[in-house]
Structure 1
């Protein structure tokens, strides 16, 4: 498929993109550096946002051993990142999971993966924006009403949108600022707590303190529920590939950036999780709900007068995370719309020629999260359902790519990018798929919430609903048949026959 604008440079990147069926798109500029790409993935991953969102729940569910979940999830997600690295090296096209699925499997698979991932990102953007608001309040020592929380969340979303509209260089800069802020936050907070705020020795990580023993399935069931802290922490590396057309030599750079994102993110997440756990004075108070926010208590005790400064660093991390999530969502929407897969594709594929960004896709990635935030004031379950689907939808999107890669290998796909796993490809791909299936099953597993069966099964019902709506729309509209971008060509004619 030819993009309307003619190519402006005939370098290796343009030639590779042309070989994949796309003429170099002059609306994109390859202005993002390796570290800018790492920063984008890192701030999407956002250890501070992930850990702070789930710490109290996980600690109260399974006690101190829940910290090991961040190590387990890091290993599992690293396997997925290796598969992604091989795929994006072969197909360095903007949009991430959608174009990868399209080339590895086919049009229908790509539509469903793109649909699931777009909905998941919208929910995740809303969730992160909502989660940023209390920390803004903490900077000023204020307790926020529901309306104030939503207003601040939308303001954070607006800041992220302005940064994204400013172009790839500003996006790269904003992501780098976020990375620096998060690393300073992780090193200062984690290091200080380890040196001066530690209440326990390291043996507590092998002692559940009696927490979780009466959970369904015993302590193993409790640990599985608490393990969501790890699963929430490591999925930003996909964003490295979302901007593949904005990076020089993406076939080589993006796979490296994905791995580096997990190296740095894994270090920061592990440091924060373990240091915060060691600084909690009373685990049983967290488990019984007497202490609702153990992080705030630990940081206030440790930092005293400079507590608002720590909160400000966290706010910067949240805004950077929103910016990166929105960038990823906009590139995915643009990628699908330029292939004419989405409703209003002509509108969604428009670019701001001066800023070199997909302007209408960016507006879409701001409008729908803001709409969910506003609706949460009237329909609390709307935010709950969308936020809950965010993580499982992202893991499903990842798993669909991993499965498509394994299927393509079986059909004869031979990766030809600058990063390949060689003889390790099959075992890594299979292990990554097993990990992904277990992760999705664990996130979806209905657990007692005290709100009745509807609340216990809300995530499953939301997931089924999202899949059903996407599947029905795809079949009725035949969206998957539009456009002439290549599909199911990873392993040649055989893949096209069986797609």
Structure 2
């Protein structure tokens, strides 16, 4: 959007009245998405992106294979770190209830160029997460019925046939979620709420059944087992991949702010409750799996993971019934992640900050859904799945890459936020839609923010570190060992080139118009 004077600027000032109940108008935007989500739907948006059943079942085997039972303790460590980040995000969600949360927050805390790269890295990461989540079907479908293994006879995701089968089902799932993402805002919300409710009920049942079928005591979690060759520290660092993959996406409640009723009050609460609930349930599922596994040494736990525990400890009937619930969770998680990526594309395009912005920013007035972003995300995620047809190693490479991208994007919010706190100009004050003070960390703001940033940077480096034993155990695939680093460099490089070409063509970032003289947004 242009300022009245037409003077280019890379600064995005706060509106004069951050608590103004005129909502989007204060930020220079028109209300186009349908505002129909209540508090539970907002919670469901964050919880379904995290989706403990999807992610725990997808990466439990990996965590155990490289860390042994002690990898459990990486879970509370990551949960505490992510709660620090979530607390910072809750503050921002109250003050900037806008779609494209990471992009909007970062650009308003720093400048539009920096925020653009945060949004660019985030949306590419989200697209990779969509692909990774769709691959999770392979972890459970063949365990429910061997007939779901349509390609070859080895269902392990790291085998050639398992990887190809995962890609096939992943593409089918993406076709379904893309269809739902263009239907209607209310249909999307209903599917999300029903799926999250089923997932929570299923998670509680799994926890109860696992603990009532325990084979050993919780003391087993202090053992590294034969899997951890690099000792306790190495086991925890690599084992943290599981927890790090699970506990991302809690910011989705912020992404859906423009579709949420009373977002200044609702979004901060649902960001924290979604992460807290997922952290508690996921930790108990992992602990229950370690206690109830028939064996910790027969090698199956590090290959088949939680699916093996459920069908072996609880019996085929009960175990498979619970795995059906996991399939529902995977479906809803993929849908929620795709929705979040769509809102990021929409938000950046609405500011004219992406190629084909006019198409990506268009909202169907009847359904309240941006159709083009859903198609773009679905097609690009499906294209990523083609990597899985050629190389089983791509399963882990795709999973780790998406975590690193999101962690880095998070740090590009908490970093500028900390600088503004230290300068004393962090946005403060204001009231929500009910006249109550906005969520604030108060005097704890600087220490919480600083720890959140340090944690995020440490985990980004830990996850991206090119460990040959993890990413290229068989040798001969150096590009998978360095896949995350290379993918990130390519992402940043493409973004830099596009912005350079855009600047040379005469386009430049401009601040939104003041609240008093808002022009009608161009489409």
TM-score normalised according to structure 2 size: 0.85
SS at match of 1:400: helix
Does structure 2 conserve the Cα–Cα contact (< 8 Å) formed by 1:59 and 1:283?
no
How many residue pairs are counted as aligned between the two chains? Answer: 471
Structure 1 counterpart of 2:384: 372
Structure 2 counterpart of 1:254: 267
Change (3 A) 1:343 1:385: farther
Change (3 A) 1:231 1:361: same
Does structure 1 conserve the Cα–Cα contact (< 8 Å) formed by 2:397 and 2:480?
no
Change (3 A) 1:480 1:280: farther
Structure 1 counterpart of 2:102: 97
SS at match of 2:126: helix
Once the two structures are overlaid, the 10-residue window that deviates more, 90-99 or 147-156, is: 147-156
Structure 2 counterpart of 1:180: 197
Q: CA deviation at 1:190?
A: 1.4
SS at match of 1:63: helix
Q: Structure 1: how far apart are the matches of 2:290 and 2:416?
A: 39
Q: Structure 2: how far apart are the matches of 1:50 and 1:278?
A: 19
2:343 corresponds, among 296, 308, 331, to 331
Q: CA deviation at 1:128?
A: 0.9
Q: CA deviation at 1:410?
A: 2.8
Change (3 A) 1:177 1:244: same
The one-character-per-residue Cα deviations of 1:24-59 (angstroms, maximum 9, x if unpaired) are 32x211100111010110010011112112111111
Change (3 A) 1:44 1:403: same
Structure 1 counterpart of 2:374: 362
Q: CA deviation at 1:365?
A: 1.4
Q: CA deviation at 1:21?
A: 2.2
Q: Structure 1: how far apart are the matches of 2:20 and 2:249?
A: 24
Structure 1 counterpart of 2:14: none
- Answering whether residue 207 of structure 2 is matched by residue 190 of structure 1, we say yes
Once the two structures are overlaid, the 10-residue window that deviates more, 156-165 or 408-417, is: 408-417
The one-character-per-residue Cα deviations of 1:345-397 (angstroms, maximum 9, x if unpaired) are 01111111211111111111111111222354357677765443211001111
Q: Structure 2: how far apart are the matches of 1:303 and 1:43?
A: 27
- Answering whether residue 503 of structure 2 is matched by residue 469 of structure 1, we say no
Q: CA deviation at 1:109?
A: 0.6
Q: Structure 2: how far apart are the matches of 1:123 and 1:21?
A: 31
- Answering whether residue 478 of structure 2 is matched by residue 459 of structure 1, we say no
Unpaired runs of at least 5, structure 2:
3-18, 152-160, 431-437, 515-523
Structure 2 counterpart of 1:152: 169
- Answering whether residue 305 of structure 2 is matched by residue 294 of structure 1, we say yes
Structure 2 counterpart of 1:32: 37
Once the two structures are overlaid, the 10-residue window that deviates more, 409-418 or 42-51, is: 409-418
Structure 2 counterpart of 1:308: 320
Once the two structures are overlaid, the 10-residue window that deviates more, 300-309 or 437-446, is: 300-309
The one-character-per-residue Cα deviations of 1:119-156 (angstroms, maximum 9, x if unpaired) are 11111101111222442333333224255433321221
RMSD: 2.3
1:425 corresponds, among 424, 430, 445, to 445
Does structure 1 conserve the Cα–Cα contact (< 8 Å) formed by 2:134 and 2:174?
yes
- Answering whether residue 412 of structure 2 is matched by residue 400 of structure 1, we say yes
Once the two structures are overlaid, the 10-residue window that deviates more, 386-395 or 41-50, is: 386-395
Q: CA deviation at 1:473?
A: 2.2
Does structure 2 conserve the Cα–Cα contact (< 8 Å) formed by 1:98 and 1:336?
yes
The one-character-per-residue Cα deviations of 1:1-27 (angstroms, maximum 9, x if unpaired) are 49xxxxxxxxx87613222222x32x2
Structure 2 counterpart of 1:443: 463
Unpaired runs of at least 5, structure 1:
3-11, 490-499
- Answering whether residue 86 of structure 2 is matched by residue 81 of structure 1, we say yes
Q: CA deviation at 1:464?
A: 2.0
- Answering whether residue 297 of structure 2 is matched by residue 284 of structure 1, we say yes
TM-score normalised according to structure 1 size: 0.89
Q: Structure 1: how far apart are the matches of 2:455 and 2:143?
A: 37
Does structure 1 conserve the Cα–Cα contact (< 8 Å) formed by 2:68 and 2:235?
no
Structure 1 counterpart of 2:158: none
Structure 2 counterpart of 1:9: none
Q: CA deviation at 1:204?
A: 0.7
Change (3 A) 1:429 1:282: same
- Answering whether residue 268 of structure 2 is matched by residue 263 of structure 1, we say no
The one-character-per-residue Cα deviations of 1:38-87 (angstroms, maximum 9, x if unpaired) are 01100100111121121111112121111111111111101101101111
1:202-221 maps to which residues of 2 (within 5 A)? 202-212=218-228, 214-215=229-230, 218-221=231-234
Q: Structure 2: how far apart are the matches of 1:65 and 1:368?
A: 37
Q: Structure 1: how far apart are the matches of 2:324 and 2:446?
A: 45
- Answering whether residue 35 of structure 2 is matched by residue 19 of structure 1, we say no
Does structure 2 conserve the Cα–Cα contact (< 8 Å) formed by 1:108 and 1:480?
no
1:401-416 maps to which residues of 2 (within 5 A)? 401-411=413-423, 412-416=425-429
Q: Structure 1: how far apart are the matches of 2:198 and 2:392?
A: 32
Structure 2 counterpart of 1:494: none
SS at match of 2:136: helix
Does structure 2 conserve the Cα–Cα contact (< 8 Å) formed by 1:190 and 1:275?
yes
Change (3 A) 1:383 1:194: closer
